[in-house]
Amino acid sequence: MFKRFKIPEATIGRLTSYSRFLKEADEKGVTTVSSQQIARATGVTPAQVRKDLAYFGEFGTRGVGYNPRELYNYIMKILGLDRRWSVAIVGAGHLGTALSLYKGFAERGFDITCIFDADPEKIGKKIAGLEVRSLEELSQKVKEYNVELGIVAVPAAAAQEVVDIMVGAGIKGIINFAPVNVSVPEDVVIRRVDLASQLEYLTYHLGETR
Amino acid sequence: MFKRFKIPEATIGRLTSYSRFLKEADEKGVTTVSSQQIARATGVTPAQVRKDLAYFGEFGTRGVGYNPRELYNYIMKILGLDRRWSVAIVGAGHLGTALSLYKGFAERGFDITCIFDADPEKIGKKIAGLEVRSLEELSQKVKEYNVELGIVAVPAAAAQEVVDIMVGAGIKGIINFAPVNVSVPEDVVIRRVDLASQLEYLTYHLGETR
């Protein structure tokens, strides 16, 4: 029901921050939090918190606040995180290895279940307990492990080919770390993580003070 | 002048995309582009393009369009990218190594000039032609290489200490890849890159089609 409207992308990112704060509050035994408290903990304004939540319906009690556990559960449902997701990584270089070892995925419900590479020297190696497999095995393993999400951690020149293989195997959501735009069919969601653009947020803000 | 207003963070991210398209257009010898063309190439609406640019003043000629090179140069200035920036990475593990080798930084004006680690086994090793140095050398090297930006690629438990060292050495902008929030003084800009949240954009959108 709450998904009828087009939600700004930045709202999704903030919901993630709110949910982390709400989880911590709940774990500490807190039973009520205000939009001011959520705002302070996540670095936004209270008005922004209320606006973001308003996209999804009525929450909390005016003048009282929100129950952290209830709001957390609701946000996790909005984000599609009321279940676990099986994730495949393609690329067993430094970035793919770092992502395989990244502790932050499992705690949000993302299980890295398979790792692939085209390099015969990497195939068969173990990373984070998983055997690196050849791209030829991708389609079969995606079925075996019910993989729905894929992470592309290969050089720019190989990215489109890898994405095509992922899409062909039925993967519906892809994160692309390669510094290149790739195309996917309309029913596949793709997101490019541009590492340089992260630095550009800094230089923009530092520019403000020059 | 254009920095008086509070610009939405998402606008900054889109300016980055626009600038990449404009550079390509200019390199192909294109002399005029429309907001429709910018929009199509970057996956937003033409109205969004016009709104984003309007934050910074009047551009282009109504009914004619923009000169790609002029607009590119202006956006790069807005983003603080009309100069090069010296960047230090702390953490020479898989993620730090991947970032040191990442091709996308140099082409946007970011030069990785030093790499640090606390692990004696890593100190002295070479990554991307740079010698890994101890944290004790950070302050001196930051001065020597005019480092203004830092990237934190260490485990969560070490992140705050590393950030404190960076801030003490005079670094004014920090990207934190560790899955933890860290605090900085008011005059330092920090941005946390939450790798799990990238996957959450996918699950949110996949949720829409469930």
B148 domain-assigned: yes
pLDDT band at B12 (very low <50, low <70, confident <90, very high): confident
Q: Which residue has the tokens 């998904």?
A: A3
pLDDT of residue A169: 98
A12 interaction partners in chain B (CB closer than 8 Å):
200-201, 204
Q: Do residues A22 and A38 both lie within one domain?
A: yes
Last residue of a domain, one of B78, B109, B125: B78
Is residue A103 a part of any domain in this protein?
yes
**pLDDT for A59 beyond 90:** no
B3 pLDDT above the threshold of 60 = no
In a domain, A172, yes or no: yes
- Answer whether residue B207 is part of any domain: no
Whether residues B188 and B132 fall in one domain? yes
Question: Does a structural domain hold residue B64?
Answer: yes
pLDDT at B4 over 60: no
Domain assignment present for B209: no
Point out which residues pair with A115 in neighbouring strands. A89, A132
Which of B33, B55, B78 corresponds to the end of one domain?
A: B78
Confidence of residue B181 (pLDDT cuts 50, 70, 90): confident
Same domain, B107 and B191: yes
Domain holding B130, by residue range, is 85-196
Asked whether the beta carbons of residue A104 and residue B196 sit closer than 8 angstroms, the reply is yes
Nearest C-alpha in A relative to B173? A202
In this structure, the answer to whether residues A95 and A67 fall within a common structural domain is: no
**pLDDT above 90 for B96:** yes
Q: Based on the fold, state whether residues B50 and B89 are members of the same structural domain.
A: no
| CATH code of residue A127 | 3.40.50.720
Averaged confidence pLDDT in chain A: 90
Do A109 and A174 share a domain, yes or no? yes
Selecting from B105, B173, B179 the residue whose C-beta is nearest the C-beta of A103 gives B179
Q: Is B205 annotated as a binding residue?
A: no
Same domain, B116 and B174: yes
Q: What is the mean pLDDT of residues B152-174?
A: 96
The verdict on B45 and B112 lying in the same domain is no
The residue-averaged pLDDT of A62-91 equals 92
> Do residues B22 and B119 both lie within one domain?
no
Helix H, strand E, coil C: the string for chain B is CCCCCCCCHHHHHHHHHHHHHHHHHHHCCCCCECHHHHHHHHCCCHHHHHHHHHCCCCCCECCCEECHHHHHHHHHHHCCCCCCEEEEEECCCHHHHHHHHCCCCHHHCEEEEEEECCCCCCCCCEECCEEEECHHHHHHHHHHCCCCEEEECCCHHHHHHHHHHHHHCCCCEEEECCCCCCCCCCCCEEEECCHHHHHHHHHHHHHHCC
- pLDDT score at A113: 97
Q: What's the alpha-carbon Rg for chain B, to the nearest Å?
A: 20
| Average pLDDT of the residues in A181-202 | 90
Domain boundary among B78, B108, B135: B78
Give chain A positions within 8 Å (CB) of B78: 204, 207
**Total count of domains within chain B:** 2
Tell me what pLDDT residue A3 has. 47
Asked whether residue A123 falls in the same domain as residue A186, the answer is yes
Same domain, B89 and B74: no
pLDDT average, residue stretch B142-150: 97
Closest CB to B175 among A3, A110, A198: A198
B88 is in an annotated binding site: no
Of B16, B172, B199, nearest to A197 by CB-CB distance is B16
Tell me the mean pLDDT in the region B80-85.
94
Look at A12 and B25; give whichever has higher pLDDT. Answer: B25
Q: Looking at the structure, do residues A67 and A136 belong to the same domain, yes or no?
A: no
Give a yes or no: residue A187 inside a domain.
yes
Residue A1 above 50 pLDDT?
no
Q: Which residues contact A98 (CB under 8 A, 6 or more apart)?
A: B93, B94, B95, B97, B98
Question: Which DSSP symbol is given to A107?
Answer: G
Instruction: Find tokens 């550079």 and name the residue.
Output: B23
Amino acid at A3: K
Give A202 to chain B, closest Cα distance, Å. Answer: 6
CATH code assigned at B48:
1.10.10.10
Q: Is residue B4 in a domain? A: no
Per-residue confidence at A160, pLDDT binned at 50, 70, 90? very high
User: How many whole angstroms separate alpha carbon B7 and alpha carbon A205?
Assistant: 10
